Amino acid sequence: MFERILVPTDGSGPANAALEYAGEIAAAEDVTVHVLHVIDPDADPGDVEGPIAEGREWAGDAGAPVIDEIHTGEPRDTILEYAATRDVDAIVMGTRGRRGVGRLLLGSVTEAVVRDAEVPVLVVRGAPEVERRYPFETIVVPIDGSTHADAALERALEIARHHDATVHLLSVVDVTPAGIDERTDLRLDRLESAARRIIDDGVAMADEAGIDAVTAVRYGSTDRTIRSYADEQDAALLVMGTHGRSGIDRLLIGSVTERVLRTATVPVLTVRAATDG
C-alpha cells in the first residue's frame, strides 16, 4: 500500500498517537518510517529534548526500518519539503500539538499540510474516543464528483483491494439551509439528482476496479452526516478529498474535510488530486 511514510512528531499526545498508528502499519506492511522532528529556530533546546528522546525510543522499538531526523524551520514548509525530497508515499499526523515557544506541530499545521501535500495525509486524533484499527475492514468514502473526491475514491479502492475491505460510497445532500418554499424544493430536487448521479459514477469506478461498493445518499449537515455514517458502519477509515466542488451543486468542500478531521472518531486519509504539469 505504502513503502515510505513520514511521521512528524513533537511528543504531544496526538503526535504520539500518530507514531503508534504508523508503527502498527509499518509492522504489518514492512514499510520504512521517517520520523521527523521539526524544531523552531528560536526554541530552547531543553524544550525539545524530551519529545526527541521519546520519538527515538519509539523508533528503537519499531519492527520496521526507521529513519529519524531533526530539522530546523517552519513546521508546515519543513514537513512538505521533507516529504517531497524523500519521496514518501504518505504522511501520518496528529491533529494537535504542543503550545508555547517550542511548539513543533499545531492542529493548524496539520490542516495546512493536508491542504498542500502532494501525497495522502493520514490524520489521527489523539482523543480517547478515536478508534485506530489496522488492517482496515470497512472504508467510507464521501464523494461529490470533484476531481479530489475521485482521487480519494481511487485511493480507497486500492486500499480496499489490498485489505479485502468493504467500501461504502456516501453522497450527502446538505439540507441544512433548506426551507419550504417552492424555489428551495426545486433546488433540493436538483441536489438529489446530482447526488444520485455521483453515486452512479462512483459505482462505475468501483466496478472497473473489481470491487462491489455499498452506496448511500443521506440528508443533513455534510460533516455531521459523514461522521455519523462512519460511526454507524463501524468504519475503520474515512477517505476524503482535500477540496470539493464549488457553486450551487457543491456537496463537499475543503472546509467540510477540515471539520471532519477535527471530530472524526476514526483516522481520516485525505487525498489531493494530482496537479497538471
Q: Domain-by-domain residue ranges, the chain? A: 4-124, 138-271
The residue among 168 and 275 whose pLDDT is bigger is 168
pLDDT at 201 over 90: yes
Q: If pLDDT is split at 50, 70 and 90, which confidence band does 225 have? A: very high
Domains 4-124 and 138-271 equal at CATH topology level: yes
pLDDT at 1 over 60: yes
Q: So what's the pLDDT on residue 182?
A: 46
Instruction: Indicate the average pLDDT of the chain.
Output: 83
- How many angstroms separate the CA atoms of 30 and 33, rounded? 9
Q: So what's the pLDDT on residue 245?
A: 53
Beta bridge partners of 102: none
Q: So what's the pLDDT on residue 72?
A: 87
Amino acid identity, residue 43? A
pLDDT tens-place string over residues 100-117: 434 444 467 888 899 899
> 150: closest CA among 254, 212, 240, 214?
240
- How many angstroms separate the CA atoms of 101 and 86, rounded? 28
Q: Is 83 helix (H, G, I), strand (E, B) or coil?
A: helix
Q: If pLDDT is split at 50, 70 and 90, which confidence band does 244 have? A: low
Q: If pLDDT is split at 50, 70 and 90, which confidence band does 191 have? A: confident
Q: So what's the pLDDT on residue 60?
A: 59
pLDDT tens-place string over residues 12-62: 778 888 888 888 888 888 889 999 988 877 766 666 666 666 766 765 566
CA angle 45, 83, 40 (to 5 degrees): 20
- The CATH number for 138-271, chosen from 3.40.50.620, 1.20.120.520, 3.30.1330.10, 3.40.50.1820, is 3.40.50.620
pTM of the model: 0.87
Domain at 4-124: CATH architecture:
3-Layer(aba) Sandwich (3.40)
The residue among 53 and 132 whose pLDDT is bigger is 132
